[in-house]
């Protein structure tokens, strides 16, 4: 017997009208359920119930205070603090604290993407990534910066925004060359330059790559696997969305990178860095770029250029 209730937006079927109405909220971004403790809104009662464990639970981590629904979830969380990683990838030997994290990681090597967007048919390897993607269609930005009230679709977006925009802290250091970074992920990617590690394996030709972006580009160019990002103005194609966004700056005459010495503007950070080397005091600028990157150049440029 076919399911009698269908969503008019994505044609997904449901067994009850209540399930259909609850599903429709995902398309409009409605938040009918509000947490009485912090005021955060949710699209369904289950999400609200899950969220409430943050405020009160008998399963509470003594290290960071985070709460969980049951003792099993708490035990998995505690591995973050202990550093225990019991699950190892058989392809690249990367280790994980939970089996679910290993399953998600294995899809990097297999290319499997079981989670599909009902609106645009884009597929993802993780359910959480699909949830974040849906906010593109709904326009939902539930996470707000406490310092400037700028809103983001992801909690990590707020954290990175506050770190890069409102803070100059670089707490993570490369053990090989001492170069400092703002996130642990940046350090891990950088360290591969020293170790030569290439954890991302192409399943077609067994070539290995240092970053996931390099693997995606290879799959697209060599094996025609993936999606090209096409400029709607000149139809030029790019292997990564970030490259397309940078390219669009040229069409829109947007030059967000400004030299503090001569006020000359550039479309990309790479062009600005190349330009900085032409100024007096370029040896100091060069050294700073090599050690710290471009994000904190303003005060150094001002010192160099007088």
Cβ proximity of 282 and 272 under 8 Å: no
pLDDT of 268 higher than 60 = yes
pLDDT for 68 equals 75
Query: What's the mean pLDDT when you consider all of the chain?
Result: 76
Run of H or E including 101 = helix 99-110
Q: Give the CA diameter of the chain.
A: 78
* Tens-digit pLDDT profile for residues 136-165: 777 778 788 877 778 887 777 787 777 767
Cβ proximity of 127 and 114 under 8 Å: no
Q: What does the alpha-carbon distance between residue 71 and residue 61 come to, in Å, rounded to a whole number?
A: 10
pLDDT for 300 equals 43
pLDDT for 266 equals 83
Q: What does the alpha-carbon distance between residue 79 and residue 135 come to, in Å, rounded to a whole number?
A: 30
* Tens-digit pLDDT profile for residues 55-90: 766 777 887 777 777 788 888 888 777 777 888 888
pLDDT, mean of residues 128-143: 79
Cβ neighbourhood burial of 301 (10 Å; 0-12, 13-18, 19+): buried
Counting residues of the chain whose pLDDT is more than 90, the rounded percentage is: 2
pLDDT for 299 equals 40
* Tens-digit pLDDT profile for residues 166-219: 777 777 888 888 888 877 888 888 898 899 898 888 888 989 998 888 888 898
Q: Higher pLDDT residue, 248 or 17? A: 248
Q: Higher pLDDT residue, 279 or 204? A: 204
pLDDT for 28 equals 55
Q: Which of 89, 126, 129 is nearest to 106 (CA)?
A: 89
pLDDT, mean of residues 236-252: 83
pLDDT, mean of residues 236-253: 83
Any long-range contacts for 39-44 (C-beta under 8 Å, 24+ apart)? 40/142, 41/142
pLDDT for 32 equals 65
pLDDT for 162 equals 75
pLDDT for 259 equals 76
Tokens 């035990």, residue located: 75
Q: Which of 272, 266, 236, 263 is nearest to 254 (CA)?
A: 266
Q: What does the alpha-carbon distance between residue 36 and residue 78 come to, in Å, rounded to a whole number?
A: 28
pLDDT for 9 equals 66
Instruction: Report the residue count for the chain.
Output: 306
Taken in order 267, 271, 272, 278, is the CA torsion positive or negative? Answer: negative
In degrees rounded to 5, what are phi and psi of residue 287?
Answer: -65, -40
pLDDT for 2 equals 47
Q: Which of 63, 35, 72, 65 is nearest to 50 (CA)?
A: 35
Domains in the chain (CATH in brackets) are: 85-167 (3.30.160.60), 177-223 (3.30.160.60), 258-305 (no CATH)
Cβ neighbourhood burial of 121 (10 Å; 0-12, 13-18, 19+): exposed
pLDDT for 42 equals 74
């Amino acid at each position: 017997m076919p399911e009698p209730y269908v969503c008019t937006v994505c044609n997904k079927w449901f067994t009850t009208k209540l399930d259909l109405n609850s599903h429709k909220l995902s398309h409009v971004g409605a938040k009918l359920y509000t947490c009485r403790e912090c005021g955060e809104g949710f699209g369904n009662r289950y999400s609200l119930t899950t969220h409430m464990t943050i405020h009160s639970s008998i399963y509470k981590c003594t290290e960071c205070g985070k709460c969980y629904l049951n003792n099993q979830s708490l035990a998995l969380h505690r591995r973050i603090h202990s550093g225990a990683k019991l699950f190892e990838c058989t392809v690249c030997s990367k280790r994980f604290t939970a089996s679910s994290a290993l399953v998600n990681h294995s899809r990097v090597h297999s290319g499997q993407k079981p989670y599909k967007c009902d609106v645009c048919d884009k597929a993802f390897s993780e359910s959480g990534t699909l949830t974040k993607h849906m906010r593109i269609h709904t326009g939902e930005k539930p996470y707000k910066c406490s310092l400037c009230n700028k809103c983001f679709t992801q909690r990590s977006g707020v954290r990175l925004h506050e770190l890069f925009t409102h803070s100059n802290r670089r707490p993570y250091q490369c053990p090989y060359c001492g170069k400092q970074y703002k996130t642990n992920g940046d350090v891990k990617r950088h360290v591969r330059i020293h170790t030569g590690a290439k954890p991302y394996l192409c399943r077609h030709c067994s070539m290995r790559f240092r970053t996931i972006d390099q693997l995606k580009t290879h799959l697209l160019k060599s094996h025609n696997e993936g999606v090209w990002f096409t400029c709607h103005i000149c139809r030029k194609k790019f292997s990564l969305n970030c490259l397309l966004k940078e390219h669009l700056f040229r069409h829109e005459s947007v030059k967000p990178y400004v030299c503090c010495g001569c006020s000359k503007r550039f479309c990309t950070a790479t062009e600005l860095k190349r330009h900085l080397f032409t100024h007096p005091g370029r040896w100091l600028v060069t050294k700073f770029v090599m050690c710290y990157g471009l994000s904190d150049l303003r005060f150094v440029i001002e010192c160099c250029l007088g």
